[in-house]
Amino acid sequence: MTEKFLKITALSLLSLTVMLTVITEVEARKKKPNNYKMKYVGALKCDGSCHDPYYQAWKNTGHGKAFELLKPGIRAEAKKKAALDPEKDYTTDPHCLRCHTTGYRQRGGFRPATHKKPTPIDPQEPNKEQVGCEMCHTIAGGSEIRKIMKNTKGDFDKADTEKHGQRWDYSNVCTRCHLHPKNPFQPSLDKKYEFDFKERVKNIHKADKYWSEDNRDQKLEKIKKRTKQIAQSEKTPVAIEDWKIKQKKKGPKLYLRNKPYNKVKRKERREFKKAHGKKYKKSDEWKKMLAERKWFNYQK
Ligand code: HEC
Ligand code: HEC
Ligand code: HEC
């Protein structure tokens, strides 16, 4: 009787240990960055338990409300001046979404109401339907750099996250929207659209008044060390993207043309599938391709 009991206990303990090991291994794998899987996650994920004061401050800036500008009747005078129709609803118009939302037409990015699976919108908690954190801080979405920030509790070097898509070329990043040739609001139209980085950057993060007892542990103590580092993107800024809008049966569709990120295209994957079958991701050739790939396009 007791012998049987002991056996059962030993067996269940063993299987519990095996289970726990498997779970922690799965977790570890999940947290390992992987450029191939980069995607947009939204501002709420950056808020989470990490950057609450920045999120609270951002909500009340023009960037945190940029999607609202696409609605009919909003800023009618400015729209008229730019030869846009003030009564038109632009919230699903590809001509506007690349600069007024987060990650439009990229993995994990914003999908408008005309999409078969639109991104849910909560008016209390702005997320992907605005110019979110990831539009300025990442190249192809924050999913992978978020893992590094969490794993290191904020104690990372610029190069660690840059390898997986964080960008530090702040003065360059603004021009992917401000002064971009596809922006209808050019300085030639009105002087107020001129862009002086040093002046404008002062209004990006007014997070100071949102620090509290609850989020004090989120202060970036390690930031001083990082300000001395110079990242690759600061030496050679990331390319400024451009896109083309093609008229399709269902309406206009945006295609990224010049882009800062070299995603693995379906066509490329097909080659590996042909050579190695369904489990091509286990092949040495696939792993070699990922390791040697130049993921980012820098300016020449
Ligand atoms: C290339 C990026 C880009 C595209 C494309 C773009 N915008 Fe904008 N938009 C901006 C930026 C940047 C500003 C802020 C300009 C400033 O304040 O200097 C802005 C400002 C605005 C404003 C406020 C202007 C004001 O003076 O109050 C409205 C309204 C607006 N955009 C609507 C649209 C609409 C509608 C479309 C599509 C037809 C569109 N935008 C396409 C980047 C873009
Ligand atoms: C329009 C571009 C832009 C957006 C959107 C943006 N940031 Fe930033 N962020 C910057 C720039 C530029 C800096 C560096 C200068 C500064 O700190 O003001 C920065 C710095 C930071 C820092 C470092 C602060 C420090 O002490 O140096 C954190 C953390 C941060 N941003 C988080 C966020 C989060 C979270 C969001 C979204 C809720 C966000 N940012 C949205 C441009 C942006
Ligand atoms: C993805 C597009 C995008 C990027 C990238 C971007 N902006 Fe903007 N920005 C906008 C839009 C759209 C507006 C218009 C908001 C409005 O008029 O209400 C705006 C407005 C602003 C404003 C004034 C409005 C306000 O109340 O905040 C400042 C200041 C500004 N941007 C600074 C910057 C700086 C500095 C950077 C680079 C670090 C940057 N922006 C990058 C799209 C962008």
Q: Where are the domains of the chain?
A: 1-31, 37-261, 264-300
Report the pocket of ligand 1 as residue ranges, CB < 6 Å: 69-70, 75, 78-79, 84, 90, 93, 95-96, 98-100, 177-178, 180, 182-185, 193
Q: Provide the pLDDT for residue 5.
A: 72
Q: Provide the pLDDT for residue 222.
A: 82
The string of pLDDT tens digits covering residues 42-66 is: 999 999 889 999 999 999 999 999 9
Closest CA to 174 of 135, 145, 206, 139: 135
Report the pocket of ligand 3 as residue ranges, CB < 6 Å: 61-63, 66, 69, 99-100, 131, 135-136, 170, 173-174, 176-178, 197, 200-201, 203-204
The residue count of the chain comes to 300
Query: Is the model's pLDDT at 200 over the cut of 90?
Result: yes
Ligand 2 nearest atom to the CA of residue 51, by list position: 35
The pTM for the full model equals 0.92
In the block, residue with structure tokens 């590996």: 272
Give mean pLDDT, residues 147-159. 93
Q: Provide the pLDDT for residue 221.
A: 81
Q: What is the CATH number of domain 37-261?
A: 1.10.1130.10
Give mean pLDDT, residues 117-125. 96
Question: How large is the greatest C-alpha to C-alpha distance in the chain, in angstroms?
Answer: 91
**Calpha distance 205→223 (Å, rounded):** 15
Q: Which ligand is nearest to the CA of 137?
A: 2
Give mean pLDDT, residues 112-127. 96
Query: Is the model's pLDDT at 11 over the cut of 90?
Result: no
Q: Provide the pLDDT for residue 68.
A: 98
Query: Is the model's pLDDT at 18 over the cut of 70?
Result: no
Q: Provide the pLDDT for residue 1.
A: 54
Q: Give residue 194's Cα distance to chain centre.
A: 26
Instruction: Please give the radius of gyration of the chain, using alpha carbons only, rounded to the nearest integer.
Output: 23
